[in-house]
Amino acid sequence: MGLEMEPLAASIGISVPVLRFLLCFVATIPVSFLWRLVPGRLPKHLYSALSGVLLSYLSFGFSSNLHFLVPMSLGYASMLLFHRHCGFITFFLGFGYLIGCHVYYMSGDAWKEGGIDATGALMVLTLKVISCAINYNDGLLKEEGLSEAQKKNRLIKLPSSIEYIGYCLCCGSHFAGPVYEMKDYLEWTEGNGIWKHDEQNPSPSPYFATIRALFQAAFCMGLYLYLVPQFPLSRFIDPVYLEWPFWKRLGYQYMAGFTARWKYYFIWSISEAAIIISGLGFSGWTKSSPPKPSWDRAINVDIIGLELVKSAVEIPLKWNIQVSTWLRHYVYERLVQKGKRPGFFQLLATQTVSAVWHGLYPGYIIFFVQSALMIAGSRVIYRWQVAVPPTLAFLKIILGFFNFAYTVLVLNYSCVGFMVLSLHETLASYGSVYYIGTVIPVTLILLGSIIKPARPVRSKARKEE
């Protein structure tokens, strides 16, 4: 099979393992469609599990499913044996095993050299296993002390083993996400909740939304293939790059980051198409007249929203949306003590977990620390902007534009570390622009601790609300 695929792989400039993965990845769309035709709950769970196992085997080989079995077994065993502490146990065991695989395979180096392994799929699986255990743990808690997300997602009853395996390996999200909750998976499979359809509540057609996602994927890949030869990552340690003037180096960092993002847009668009065609991506009906089906559950990136983002604070709402939601619900919000506001510690801890989840490369760690600084600096600008009185509307507009320019600059500066991974290349690229993307956020954070504008006075009626 490898020999037969070699000419095709060579013609499009990728390795045979990557081509095999891409073919299986695209195959998740028809496989997800066929799920709709499977009758009955148990057959659907079996189909979800077996299709995920088969596509993993074809993509990465037999060992991939053994790797997936470890965190799945640890998570289910903790729910069976240690109900009261299963969330905590699964979180640390799941991340521990993932970190071990990151260290053993050093996947980032393999991906840069055109190889591929199952670590990316294991990353998605780890989040599913942990969220399932934490939600089962939440089932023991009193409802009045829970957040809205906890109330919605908590599990009172332990899922059966086949339900659990189907949830973990369901092929539509198995390779690249999006991450979703066990409760949503069960309701989707059983035809309950928003997936309960009858004559008065017909099943929405997924085909237009699926075609839109496929066209989006084709456009993203086309643009990426056009741009990537012009902005290679190797340029950051090229002596020619260092001879360029400052503004040209800064512009190259922007274009390198801009180019790399289209690869992720392509991947998430394919995942979006697979989740939509299966029906799982359905998230309800809009309030428009007539109502239209919404497929927000499948969306992992808002491309235009991210490229034109007004503030760094909004980035988690636009990029890798479902993982950002997972981090908010299972890390950020759970570190905030009752009655207190979240601060920089919660932000930094959340970004650190995200960095470890991606891998232990210095570039990842630096990028996510940079992200925490970037968001904290953007919050300072926003506080100043909100404090501007209505009589100085022009100043408010200037601060809004400054926040946008600041976000574009620091985001594309920071993401170089995420792309090149090594400490040497990361520091070389940052140093080539005099660490401007680190100096500005730190300066803003320090200024924010000195210049503390008064909060706008809220009307008495508003307070009473």
Known catalytic residues?
Answer: 358
Long-range contacts of 431-434 (CB under 8 A, 24+ apart): 432/236, 432/241, 432/242, 432/249, 433/246, 433/249, 433/250, 433/253, 434/246
CA distance 158 to 149: 19
CA distance 23 to 337: 47
The token pair at 96 is 């521990």
- DSSP-derived secondary structure letter, 329: I
Expressed in percent and rounded to 5, the helix, strand and coil fractions of the chain are 75, 0, 25
By C-alpha distance, which of 74, 83, 82 is closest to 128? Answer: 74
Nearest-Å Rg of the Cα atoms of the chain is 23
CA distance 261 to 131: 27
Sign of the alpha-carbon dihedral angle for 366, 368, 370, 372: negative
By C-alpha distance, which of 112, 120, 123 is closest to 15? Answer: 112
Q: Are 372 and 344 in contact (CB under 8 A)?
A: yes
Say how many C-beta atoms besides its own lie within 10 A of residue 289's C-beta. Answer: 6
Q: Give Cα separations from 216 to 163, 167, 205, 283 (angstroms).
A: 32, 27, 19, 20
CA distance 263 to 135: 33
